[in-house]
Amino acid sequence: MSDALLAGLRIVEFTHMVMGPAVGAILAELGAEVVKVEAMGGDATRRLMGSGAGYFPMYNRGKGSICLDLKSADGLGVARRLAASADVVVENFRPGAMDRLGLGADSLRAENPRLIYCSEKGFLPGPYEDRTALDEVAQMMGGLAYMTGPPGRPLRAGASVIDVTGGMFGVIGILAALERRHRTGEGATIQAGLFETTAYLVGQHMAQMAVTGTPAAPMPARVSAWAIYDVFETADDDQVFVGVVTDALWAKFCRLFGLDDLWADEGLRANNARVKARPELLPRVRAELKRFTKAELMARLDGSGLPFAPIGKPEELFDDPHLLASGGLSPVTLADGRETALPVLPIAVDGGRTGAAATLPEPGADTRAILAALGLAADEIDGLLASGAVG
């Protein structure tokens, strides 16, 4: 079954915010056991407000929780025992923080040579590596904000795309290291960086510059590869995106909307010719599509093969019929007991989705069970809890 793909794999994570937890969240959904080490009282990410309120529930489902005081000898001792039992350790604290605690890659891999140690950072080793970076910092530095906003108005993407993608690259590195370990028995140290992730994502624009000799313009001001590839107003003051990305689809588009005169113009039969004629072509198309309501336009486009999309909002996805029918949302019990549903990994395995019902753990909810699994006796566990080093 797809949820057991990584069964038997143990992940111990020292993470907070999004980038690090995303690594564990992906591995947990694929069937790995993930133990989240939190500060006493719980990860501060749990208490974020505003745009951060969704970080913890989205990226910490399916994990066990243990709270440790890593500044105490007892708490640190438990952390080292956990790492010794792990296949993978994940961390995303500031450079040097784990080394100062004695929980760095070299120290832990000396005790556990098969360990795969994944560090999620702002920057990979180099001149910037000691800087503090967040998703937004990387988007600004790496050109993504420049490409997203209109000229002169850099704008971060509307989701933590660099944090999440950086986490995904961490997972790719972990899985590759696991494959090597199957052959050699050797562990690995994996690093992923926010800045480098951003550079990879804007690489297409760097390649555009290399090919054309002209810097890529921000997306709102770009010269599109296609003439009809835009958001169009509808008769009921809504919006629908429509794209015509091949010459065959241009023929279909003209037939679908009765644009016989446009199809008769042989000068518009080729894509690049339509791109050059976009200033004259687009007003005609806008006027035609505005005759339809959103529902009428989507009904006409559905099944045509033309790319189209309503302009959706995140809150509308809770009721999206495709996500509901295809298992794209999975039940989650929030910390206050309320029920919701959140997106699962965007993959299918053997025709099935990977999500499963999950309850967000209370801070330290699994401490006793985790310590017992490490071989600690009940009286030792009681003593650690009483000392305040473990919670």
DSSP string, 36-64: EEE-TT--GGGG--GGGTTHHHHH-TT-E
What's the rounded Cα separation, in Å, for the pair 252 and 255? 5
* pLDDT surpasses 50 at 265: yes
As a whole number, mean pLDDT of residues 128-153 equals 96
What is the sign, positive or negative, of the torsion defined by CA atoms of 289, 290, 293, 295?
positive
Asked if the model's pLDDT at residue 2 lies above 80, the reply is no
3-class SS at 310? strand
pLDDT confidence bin for 222, thresholds 50/70/90:
confident
- Per-residue pLDDT band for 359 (boundaries 50, 70, 90) equals confident
Chain position carrying tokens 């993504």:
144
Find, among 39, 17, 23, the residue nearest to 9 by Cα.
Answer: 23
* Rounded Cα gap, residues 63 and 61, in angstroms: 6
Please state whether beta strands 348-349 and 352-353 pair in parallel, antiparallel, or not at all (unpaired).
Answer: antiparallel
Mean local confidence (pLDDT), 270-286? 95
The residues with which 310 forms a beta bridge, in sequence order, are 240
Residue 293 confidence (pLDDT) above 90? yes
The stretches of the chain forming alpha helices (DSSP H) are 19-29, 55-59, 73-84, 97-100, 105-111, 135-141, 144-148, 161-184, 194-201, 203-212, 247-256, 260-264, 271-276, 278-289, 294-301, 321-326, 367-373, 378-387
Closest CA to 389 of 77, 89, 42, 80: 77
88-139 pLDDT per residue, tens: 999 999 999 999 999 999 999 999 999 999 999 999 999 999 999 999 999 9
Q: Are 17 and 55 in contact (CB under 8 A)?
A: yes
What amino acid is encoded at 376 in this protein?
L
**Angle subtended at Cα 107 by Cα 105 and Cα 111, rounded to the nearest 5 degrees:** 110
Burial 229-251 (b: 16+ CB within 10 A, else e): ebebebeeeeebebbbbeeebbe
pLDDT of residue 156: 96
Supply the pLDDT for residue 124.
98
Nearest to 18 by CA among 75, 66, 90, 79: 90
Q: What is the pLDDT of residue 1?
A: 40
Across residues 259-279, what is the average pLDDT? 95
CB atoms within 10 A of CB 261: 10
pTM for this model (two decimals): 0.94
Mean pLDDT score, 201-226: 94
Domains of the chain: 2-201+327-387 (3.40.50.10540), 224-312 (3.30.1540.10)
CA distances from residue 294 to 182, 253, 298, 301 in whole angstroms, order as listed: 54, 17, 6, 11
Backbone angles phi, psi at 229, to 5 degrees: -165, 75
Range 377-384 average pLDDT:
96
pLDDT category of residue 361 using cuts at 50, 70 and 90: confident
Q: Which residue has the tokens 């350790």?
A: 89
- The structure tokens listed for 303 are 């099944």
Token pair 């961490």 is at which residue?
170
Q: What is the Cα 252 distance to its own chain's centre?
A: 36
